[in-house]
């Protein structure tokens, strides 16, 4: 994620995280090393490391612990993406060929398992059992979220509550614990780490809702994947749930989902229909509501520079275009 220039003081620590990330994936097998390096090089927003870094700056900052935690959370996130691409049979991610597409399913699976193992090797150098209890619980929840998402695919009989629970597990949880654990390794009291968790949770919810909006409003070039990819995969997101208040849209969607393999013309038709409803505006409203809650969660935290940046990030997420 590009941070404004005024936050340049974070650059040094972010560079350290980046270097630590490269160091952590130096596999012995050349293709495993190459595949892992490509993943790191592909960039990504690094939101989890940024949140770890900022949260830990609110307390007693120890770079070594922060590096281990930030690297571990990013590796876990990367491992999930590599395996997701096998599940979705995806050829592109962030505009580049996926590991699955380049090397096949098996290598993608081995790479994901390797990254996950490296993440746990890194993070277990921090001995605080609370950290591992929180992190491991979140990892199990993330998996359950993915399984539940699979179960709900191509099923139009879903509620908003269902969607919110899914994106909590899919996205918000890892962001929430990035903030919480950042505070924990910096020795913040439980009251503050809980507030950081809530901040991360609300930001994560907003972030995913915006991701789901951008899936319809961005270009394929900006997304690095086809527009409407969620619908193609059979995933019902918030804009779709709002658009389903329109009966004609729901009927057309039901027809399209019955075949499970949608034609491009069908996708385009559904996109046009969705954009004619107020689904995008309503989704932005929900995202903004979460962002407001995120800002409120920060109220009682120490008034450090990092707190201001956490506020700015929440506002930035609300405005992001891709």
Partner 1 sequence: MNTPEMELTQMKKIILDKIKYHYMDQHISQPKIDEDKLALLIAIIDHSSLAKQKKIQYVIATMLVQIALDTHELVSDDSRQRESAEGKLTEQLNVLAGDYYSGLYYYLLANVEEIEFIRLLASAIREINENKMKLYYKEIQSFPDYVATIRHINGLLISQVASFFNNLQLEHLSDEWITLASLYREREKIVHKQSTMLSSITDQELDAWLQKKSQSVVRIIRELPSTYNKLKKYFLSDNNVIIKTSVSEEG
Nearer to partner 1, 82 or 227 (CB): 82
Q: Which stretch binds partner 1 (CB under 8 A): 55-63, 146-154, 247-255, 295-303?
A: 146-154
CB contact at 8 A, 118 and 75 = yes
Could you say whether residue 87 binds partner 1 (CB under 8 A)? yes
Could you say whether residue 94 binds partner 1 (CB under 8 A)? no
Could you say whether residue 301 binds partner 1 (CB under 8 A)? no
Q: Tell me the sheet residues that pair with 96.
A: 93
Could you say whether residue 23 binds partner 1 (CB under 8 A)? no
Could you say whether residue 146 binds partner 1 (CB under 8 A)? yes
Nearest to 48 by CA among 171, 236, 175, 154: 175
Could you say whether residue 137 binds partner 1 (CB under 8 A)? yes
- Other residues' Cβ atoms within 10 Å of the Cβ of residue 57: 23
Which residues, 6 or more positions from 41, have their beta carbon under 8 angstroms from its beta carbon?
Answer: none
How wide is the angle at C-alpha 177 spanned by C-alphas 215 and 231, nearest 5°? 20
Could you say whether residue 110 binds partner 1 (CB under 8 A)? yes
Shortest Å, Cβ 278 to partner 1: 34
Could you say whether residue 114 binds partner 1 (CB under 8 A)? yes
The DSSP secondary-structure symbol of 278 reads T
d(CA 78, CA 75) in angstroms, rounded, equals 5
Nearer to partner 1, 8 or 30 (CB): 30
CB contact at 8 A, 232 and 154 = no
Nearer to partner 1, 121 or 304 (CB): 121
d(CA 254, CA 139) in angstroms, rounded, equals 33
Nearer to partner 1, 87 or 92 (CB): 87
CB contact at 8 A, 47 and 207 = yes
Restricting to residues 31-60, which ones interact with partner 1 according to CB under 8 A? Answer: 31-32
Could you say whether residue 2 binds partner 1 (CB under 8 A)? no
Count interface residues toward partner 1 (CB under 8 A): 44
Could you say whether residue 86 binds partner 1 (CB under 8 A)? yes
d(CA 44, CA 120) in angstroms, rounded, equals 21
Shortest Å, Cβ 102 to partner 1: 12
Nearer to partner 1, 143 or 315 (CB): 143
Could you say whether residue 142 binds partner 1 (CB under 8 A)? yes
> Which x/- pattern over 179-218 shows residues binding partner 1 (rule: CB under 8 A)?
----------------------------------------
Nearer to partner 1, 7 or 97 (CB): 97
d(CA 32, CA 149) in angstroms, rounded, equals 29
Could you say whether residue 157 binds partner 1 (CB under 8 A)? no
Q: How many CA atoms lie within 13 A of 46 on its CB side?
A: 25
How buried is residue 18: exposed, middle or buried, by Cβ count under 10 Å (0-12/13-18/19+)?
middle
d(CA 65, CA 311) in angstroms, rounded, equals 24
User: Residue 96 — φ and ψ, nearest 5°?
Assistant: -120, 155
- Residue in 2, 151, 161, 221 binding partner 1, rule: CB under 8 A: 151
- Residue in 11, 19, 190, 260 binding partner 1, rule: CB under 8 A: 260
- Map residue 294 onto helix, strand or coil: helix
Residues that bind partner 1 (CB under 8 A): 27-29, 31-32, 80, 83, 86-87, 89, 104-107, 109-110, 112-114, 116-118, 120-121, 124-125, 127, 129, 132-133, 135-137, 139-140, 142-144, 146-148, 150-151, 260
């Amino acid at each position: 994620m590009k941070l404004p220039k005024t936050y340049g003081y974070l650059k040094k620590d972010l560079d350290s995280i980046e270097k630590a990330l490269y160091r952590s994936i130096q596999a012995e097998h050349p293709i495993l090393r190459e595949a892992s390096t490509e993943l790191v090089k592909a960039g990504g927003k690094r939101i989890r490391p940024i949140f770890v870094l900022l949260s830990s700056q609110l307390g007693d900052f120890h770079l070594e612990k922060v590096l281990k935690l930030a690297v571990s959370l990013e590796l876990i996130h990367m491992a999930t993406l590599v395996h997701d691409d096998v599940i979705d049979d995806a050829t592109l991610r962030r505009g580049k060929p996926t590991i699955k597409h380049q090397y096949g399913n098996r290598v993608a699976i081995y790479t994901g398992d390797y990254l996950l193992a490296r993440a746990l090797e890194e993070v277990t150098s921090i001995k605080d059992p609370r950290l591992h209890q929180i992190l491991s619980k979140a990892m199990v929840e993330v998996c359950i979220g993915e399984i539940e998402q699979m179960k709900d695919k191509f099923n139009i009989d879903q509620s908003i509550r269902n969607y919110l629970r899914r994106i909590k597990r899919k996205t918000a949880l890892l962001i929430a614990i990035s903030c919480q654990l950042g505070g924990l390794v910096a020795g913040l009291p439980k009251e503050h780490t809980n507030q950081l968790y809530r901040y991360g949770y609300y930001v994560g919810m907003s972030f995913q809702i915006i991701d789901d909006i951008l899936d319809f409003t961005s270009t394929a070039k900006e997304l690095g994947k086809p527009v409407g990819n969620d619908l193609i995969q059979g995933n019902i997101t918030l804009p779709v749930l709002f658009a389903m208040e329109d009966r004609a849209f729901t009927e057309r969607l039901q027809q399209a989902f019955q075949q499970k393999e949608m034609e491009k013309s069908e996708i385009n038709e559904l996109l046009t229909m969705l954009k004619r409803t107020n689904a995008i505006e309503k989704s932005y409203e929900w995202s903004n509501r979460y962002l407001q809650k995120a800002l409120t969660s920060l109220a009682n935290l120490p008034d450090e520079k990092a707190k201001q940046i956490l506020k700015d990030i929440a506002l930035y997420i609300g405005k992001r275009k891709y």
